[in-house]
Amino acid sequence: MSGRQTARGRQHCVKQIFLMMLMAALNAFAGTFIVKPGESINDKLKVLQPGDTLLVRAGTYRESLALPRDGQSGKRIVLKAFPNEKPIIANATTLLALSKQWWLIQGLIFDQQDAPSDAIKISGSNSILRGCEIRNGMKDGIDGAKGSTNITIEGCTIHDFVNQPGVDAHGIVVNPGARGWKILRNKIYNCGGDCIQLYAEDVHPVAEYSKNFTISGNTFYTTLGGNSENALDFKGIPQLETFSREL
């Protein structure tokens, strides 16, 4: 075999290896999308299917997020910050309606800009809110609805939810009928109401209370003095499986 033929053979092998590596890279990133400042997160969310991921580049996005469809067990839809970046979702209204199933929301900053509404409303199931910062509102940082099930709030920082004296603004409030929540390793501070409240009224029978909650490893504090209420206020929950805290 001539030297020229050997060189051609090596070039062919290199091309084949390059093509194989390129295909592997494309397959690895199939279903991964990126949104950057000047684009709409909601527009990008519309194309996501179960198993897809949307990475959000650093910047400020002035919109409220609406999730278009459910993920699936084993195929969550992921909305997360681009690695080592801190994108901000800023709007003077509810910033996220987590009404679907099987989502992971991670690493975003939600800045409510002193709006008199809940920052994040959760009514779906089997979803995770992880490593987010939720701040600057006049009502509740997170409001959990009746029927919300298997929700995990993990490693988040929730702070500065304050209304006028006598008007509650909680870090997390969960309404009767929620099931299987896990509230883990969060930092919650400077709330005009409670850091965490599991709500119920006298009219709610015990059967309607929230159940099977795990609250563990959280840190609660205030610098607001008498303008804050309780670290924890459990008005109705018959089954609190695990509980630890630092106050």
What digits encode the pLDDT tens for the residues 9-46?
Answer: 566 666 667 645 544 454 455 599 999 999 999 999 99
> What is the Cα–Cα distance from 237 to 247, expressed in whole angstroms?
21
Sign of CA dihedral 114, 167, 240, 126: negative
pLDDT > 70: percent of the chain: 78
> What is the Cα–Cα distance from 169 to 140, expressed in whole angstroms?
5
pLDDT category of residue 179 using cuts at 50, 70 and 90:
very high
pLDDT on residue 128: 98
What is the mean predicted confidence (pLDDT) over 215-243?
Answer: 73
pTM, rounded to two decimals: 0.83
pLDDT on residue 23: 44
Q: Shortest CA distance to 99 belongs to which of 151, 155, 56, 141?
A: 151
Cβ proximity of 59 and 82 under 8 Å: no
A 10 A CB-CB count for 17 gives: 10
pLDDT of 192 over the 90 cut = no
Q: What angle do CA 88, 116, 215 make, to 5 degrees?
A: 70
pLDDT of 55 over the 70 cut = yes
pLDDT on residue 183: 95
Token pair 């005009």: residue: 192
What is the mean predicted confidence (pLDDT) over 193-213?
Answer: 75
pLDDT averaged over the chain?
86
pLDDT category of residue 229 using cuts at 50, 70 and 90:
low
pLDDT category of residue 1 using cuts at 50, 70 and 90:
low
pLDDT on residue 223: 82
What digits encode the pLDDT tens for the residues 94-134?
Answer: 999 999 999 999 999 999 999 999 999 999 999 999 999 99
Q: What is the 3-state secondary structure (H, E, C) of the chain?
A: CCHHHHHHHHHHHHHHHHHHHHHHHHHHCCCEEEECCCCCHHHHHCCCCCCCEEEECCCEECCCEECCCCCECCECEEEEECCCCCCEEECCCCCEEECCECEEEECCEEEEEEECCCCEEECCECCEEECCEEEEECCCCEEECCCCECCEEECCEEEEECCCCCCCCCCEEECCCCECCEEECCEEEEECCCCEEECCCCCCCHHHCCECEEEEEEEEECCCHHHCCCCEEECCCCCEEEEEEEC
pLDDT category of residue 182 using cuts at 50, 70 and 90:
very high
